[in-house]
Amino acid sequence: MSYHDGLMLRRTCAIAAFAICSAFMPSVCAETGYDAWLRYAPLDPAAAKQYARLPVAVFVSSGSPVLESAQAELVRGVRGMLGKTLHVESRMPAGDAIVLATFDALAELGLSAPPEPVEGTYLLKAVERKGSSMLLIAGAGDRGILYGVFAFLRRIATGRGIEHLDEQESPYAPVRWTNEWDNLDGSIERGYAGRSIFFDGGQVVPDLTRALDYARLLASIGINGCTVNSVNTDPRTLTSPFILELARIADVFRPWGVRLSMAIDFSSPKSIGGLDTFDPLDPQVAAWWKQKADEIYRAIPDLAGFVLKADSEGRLGPSAYSRSHADAANVLARALKPHGGLLFYRAFVYDHHMDWRNPKNDRARAAYDSFHPLDGQFDDNVVLQIKHGPIDFQVREPVSPLLGALEHTNEAIELQITQEYTGQQRHLCYLVPMWKEVLDFDLHASGQVTYVKDLVSGRTFHRPAGGFVGVANVGLDANWLGHDLAMANLYGFGRLAFDPNLSPREIAEEWTRMTFGNDAPVVETIVSLLMESWPAYENYTGPLGAGTLTDIIQAHYGPGIESSERNGWGQWHRAGADGIGMDRTVATGTGFIGQYWPEAARLYESLENCPDDLLLFMHHVPWTHLLHSGKTVIQHIYDSHYDGAARVQTFPERWQELKGRIDEPRYEAVLAKFEYQAGHAIVWRDAVCDWFFRTSGIPDAQGRVGHHPGRVEAESMTLDGYTVEPVTPWETASGGKAISCLRPACTATFRFEGKSGTYDIAVQYFDENAGVARYKLIVAGKMAAEWLANDTLPSDQPNGHTSTRKSVRGILLHAGDEIRIEAKPDAKDHADIDYVELTPARR
């Protein structure tokens, strides 16, 4: 569904919602996911009862665009959920009222404010005053009130009472930003939900409704800054006409308390500024940045700051002039300083041409080696933006040691909401439990208990700035992230940034209630699916801290196990005949473990202490090394891949239990995603197990690897028109081969030789992004299924990205029945097929 169709449907639904659901029946009105967790669907009558005494008069103690948003949101939410229309009064009402006030205004109401609240703090309080009930939504600044309104509506949406309300919350850290990797042409780097909501064809889009609605979503979870263009930025971002265009985005963000920030190109003084240098220590360059910052602040007075990726993955940086990262950061920070702006300097700096033959080379060391020596040299409005792990958003990484190594520098942790290495929003992978583990990790900085959440928020070393940055990459898809359930990650990022002491389960439950309603089976099922999803994904994609075994050169999506090796990118797992893993010990390896403070290093340096889930990140061990679990490494790899794939086979069935309890469009969309994920998890399982079997030479003790009962290889079928072709990499096709149709039409046929009964039939084919092939599955002369290979998977070749499963369930088969696939290729999609698998019916 396009954005505009989605919007129309949403509007129609909003108007119809109360008419249809005015009897407070659970709403199963068609939804697009556009409203995300801010649906404000009518509560059922029993739940609504507890809010019967909610005052209908609202008084707002002052006016500002943010307060107007707060007030309008309150009216909208209460109307949607309770069917009650609030009246906004211009004077303090004599009777019961909801009062929105800043802490500064509380004294006038005869109430006291919390001592020294940080910006964004809110207070929800039920107060009896002169015989009337007052429901106070107070805040430190307008943002505090806005956050209070969202917290209040969240209470109602999740069915929590407001009788004796007394809730006060302060944001854990001042920085709670998203980064969007949007390009000016409208594409999004590592975006999986359509094109940019901000840019198209080199311009800011004329209609910024989506940007405005995004700001509302961000505000509802306490996000206060958003960098709208990719860190791999286009220097044109800083040209005068473009600054004026960006100002339009800042204008739509402002009423929601979200400040715009921009990614900048370090070579700009030369590339667009007319200077012959961008040397940060050249006074002309400093003057250029100062004049540029002044110009930007004239157009965007509340710009939050700049983000810079320099000397990384081909981006120009201070090394061009043998200057330090501190020199580069400070020249920008000084230009921003008079305006109150922050400079985020990304610590994602590494050499991507490293010599893989040198066993001492290690990309994981790079951030610490580059930035730790500079601690204390950065100005106070510089924030080092540090990815949570030392490599790059893998399914499992240790915490970056740099996070514990900066006592005199502000830092922010960078988390990735967009699922670059974790299934690209085609697989469900709820990342909040992973982030929580990271934030709760004790880095023992200076020998003290120092959790990551306290280091990054600036609490540990009393830094003036710091916090949380999430790379979101929302797009024009109606549901923002492409998979309705992936929105739990955006929600969870904001909730953790505001309060990292929340638990992943609490967040999952809150999000589910707001997004899908309070129906108990719905809540139970979705929460359990979310909570199981990261462990399952880790199990079928990446073992024991070796990284996600994906194709790291291209799409970062399907399996591509060897792509990590023998190149300069440094994501090596060093698997070979003798064993697997990177030796990062101080004693014999790269010394990476020595970058941790001694108490944390002790956890990793010895094989005895090292946790199983990071073993291969830290050590090189033989295949037969015994884990703490008692299994050998190789058997763990086989077992975990089978377990993970088996777990997600249950996802579609469990989701189907919710039919009728969730609106049809979202029900169907998620079901289709789960069916796809279940099939692709098998591709992952088989690719990883086959590759490790060939490399280790050690068979699976349970006899599963390489043995697939019920599987008929396409190359063994009777082929008409099809030819047998090798697939690259070999492990992404069963038996390393597939059949390819280079004629206008082809067929592949075989006879069923098993016991008569009801079977599920899976056709494993390759859905290449090079045309739309057509398939028909004909069983005993009858059409069993017909489909198009029209997905937009990230490759135009048969491989682990494109291998796709079509499942047809409950087909009655008799011994000797003919099973035939008829295919028509299209353009360069050759209707490739890997195999057909027949299993006794499951459902």
The amino acid at 551: D
Give the shortest CB-348-to-ligand GCV separation in angstroms.
Answer: 5
Using CB under 6 A, which of the segments 32-40, 225-233, 522-530, 680-688 binds ligand GCV?
A: 225-233
Using CB under 6 A, which of the segments 2-10, 52-60, 229-237, 636-644 binds ligand GCV?
A: 229-237
Q: Cβ(655)–Cβ(532) under 8 Å?
A: no
Exposed/middle/buried for 465, CB within 10 Å: 0-12, 13-18, 19+? buried
Give the shortest CB-354-to-ligand GCV separation in angstroms.
Answer: 14
Using CB under 6 A, which of the segments 71-79, 230-238, 241-249, 355-363 binds ligand GCV?
A: 230-238
The bridge status of strand 305-308 relative to strand 259-264 is parallel
Give the shortest CB-534-to-ligand GCV separation in angstroms.
Answer: 20
Sheet holding 718-720, edge to edge: 718-720, 746-751, 818-824, 773-779, 782-789
Nearest to 363 by CA among 615, 552, 623: 552
Peptide bond before 269: cis, by omega within 30 degrees of 0?
Answer: no
In terms of CB distance, is 190 or 236 closer to ligand GCV?
190
DSSP 8-state secondary structure symbol assigned to residue 451: B
* Measured CA distances, 212 to 145, 457, 761 (Å): 19, 28, 46
* Position among 129, 160, 190, 334 found at the interface with ligand GCV (CB under 6 A): 190
Catalytic residue among 420, 510, 538, 829: 420
For residue 65, how many C-alpha atoms fall within 13 Å in the half-sphere facing its CB? 11
The site string for ligand GCV over 273-312 (x = CB under 6 A, - otherwise) reads ------------------------------------x---
Residue 232 as a binder of ligand GCV (CB under 6 A): the answer is yes
Using CB under 6 A, which of the segments 228-236, 639-647, 721-729, 828-836 binds ligand GCV?
A: 228-236
CB neighbour list of residue 433: distance below 8 Å, 6 or more residues apart: 504, 531, 534
How many other C-beta atoms lie within 10 A of the C-beta of residue 660? 9
Give the shortest CB-312-to-ligand GCV separation in angstroms.
Answer: 6
DSSP 8-state secondary structure symbol assigned to residue 737: E
In terms of CB distance, is 40 or 617 closer to ligand GCV?
617
Residue 192 as a binder of ligand GCV (CB under 6 A): the answer is no
Catalytic residue among 166, 185, 276, 313: 313
Give the shortest CB-233-to-ligand GCV separation in angstroms.
Answer: 9
In terms of CB distance, is 69 or 424 closer to ligand GCV?
424
Give the shortest CB-230-to-ligand GCV separation in angstroms.
Answer: 6
Residue 177 as a binder of ligand GCV (CB under 6 A): the answer is no
In terms of CB distance, is 311 or 484 closer to ligand GCV?
311
In terms of CB distance, is 548 or 677 closer to ligand GCV?
548
Give the shortest CB-25-to-ligand GCV separation in angstroms.
Answer: 46
Give the shortest CB-179-to-ligand GCV separation in angstroms.
Answer: 9
CB neighbour list of residue 215: distance below 8 Å, 6 or more residues apart: 226, 252, 253, 255, 256, 258
In terms of CB distance, is 310 or 530 closer to ligand GCV?
310
Give the shortest CB-390-to-ligand GCV separation in angstroms.
Answer: 13
In terms of CB distance, is 71 or 473 closer to ligand GCV?
473
The bridge status of strand 757-766 relative to strand 410-416 is unpaired
Distance CA 124, CA 130 (A): 19
Residue 392 as a binder of ligand GCV (CB under 6 A): the answer is yes
Let me know how long the chain is: 843
* Position among 24, 181, 371, 759 found at the interface with ligand GCV (CB under 6 A): 181
Using CB under 6 A, which of the segments 28-36, 91-99, 227-235, 797-805 binds ligand GCV?
A: 227-235
Residue 389: what are its φ and ψ, rounded to 5°?
A: -120, 165
CB neighbour list of residue 567: distance below 8 Å, 6 or more residues apart: 356, 553
Q: Which helix (H) or strand (E) holds 798?
A: none
Is 295 in the active site? Answer: no
In terms of CB distance, is 522 or 555 closer to ligand GCV?
555
Residue 684 as a binder of ligand GCV (CB under 6 A): the answer is no
In terms of CB distance, is 230 or 512 closer to ligand GCV?
230
Residue 188: what are its φ and ψ, rounded to 5°?
A: -130, 120
State the alpha helices, DSSP H only, in 388-503. Answer: 432-439, 452-456, 487-498
Tokens (6 digits) for 431: 């990342």
Catalytic residue among 392, 663, 713, 832: 392
Give the shortest CB-193-to-ligand GCV separation in angstroms.
Answer: 16
Binding to ligand GCV (CB under 6 A): which residues in 446-505?
none
Give the shortest CB-366-to-ligand GCV separation in angstroms.
Answer: 13
CB neighbour list of residue 752: distance below 8 Å, 6 or more residues apart: 813, 814, 815, 816, 817, 818, 819, 838
Residue 555 as a binder of ligand GCV (CB under 6 A): the answer is no
In terms of CB distance, is 232 or 567 closer to ligand GCV?
232
Q: Is the dihedral of CA 715, 717, 718, 719 positive or negative?
A: negative
Tokens (6 digits) for 664: 């049809």
Is 234 in the active site? Answer: no
Residue 189 as a binder of ligand GCV (CB under 6 A): the answer is yes
Nearest to 513 by CA among 497, 502, 524, 498: 524
Residue 572 as a binder of ligand GCV (CB under 6 A): the answer is no
Residue 231 as a binder of ligand GCV (CB under 6 A): the answer is yes
Report the b/e string of 396-413 with b at 16+ CB within 10 A. Answer: bbbbbbbbbbbeebbbbb
In terms of CB distance, is 32 or 230 closer to ligand GCV?
230
Using CB under 6 A, which of the segments 1-9, 224-232, 286-294, 670-678 binds ligand GCV?
A: 224-232
How many other C-beta atoms lie within 10 A of the C-beta of residue 33? 26
In terms of CB distance, is 460 or 550 closer to ligand GCV?
550
Is 420 in the active site? Answer: yes
Size of the site for ligand GCV (CB under 6 A): 10
Tokens (6 digits) for 179: 């980064």
Distance CA 369, CA 200 (A): 39
Nearest to 225 by CA among 237, 214, 234: 214
Tokens (6 digits) for 293: 């910052």
Residue 237: what are its φ and ψ, rounded to 5°?
A: -55, -35
State the alpha helices, DSSP H only, in 415-559. Answer: 432-439, 452-456, 487-498, 504-516, 520-541
Give the shortest CB-325-to-ligand GCV separation in angstroms.
Answer: 15
In terms of CB distance, is 311 or 832 closer to ligand GCV?
311
Residue 364 as a binder of ligand GCV (CB under 6 A): the answer is no
Exposed/middle/buried for 709, CB within 10 Å: 0-12, 13-18, 19+? exposed
Give the shortest CB-499-to-ligand GCV separation in angstroms.
Answer: 26
What residues make contact with ligand GCV under the rule CB under 6 A? 181, 189-190, 230-232, 309, 313, 348, 392
Which residues are the active-site residues?
313, 392, 420
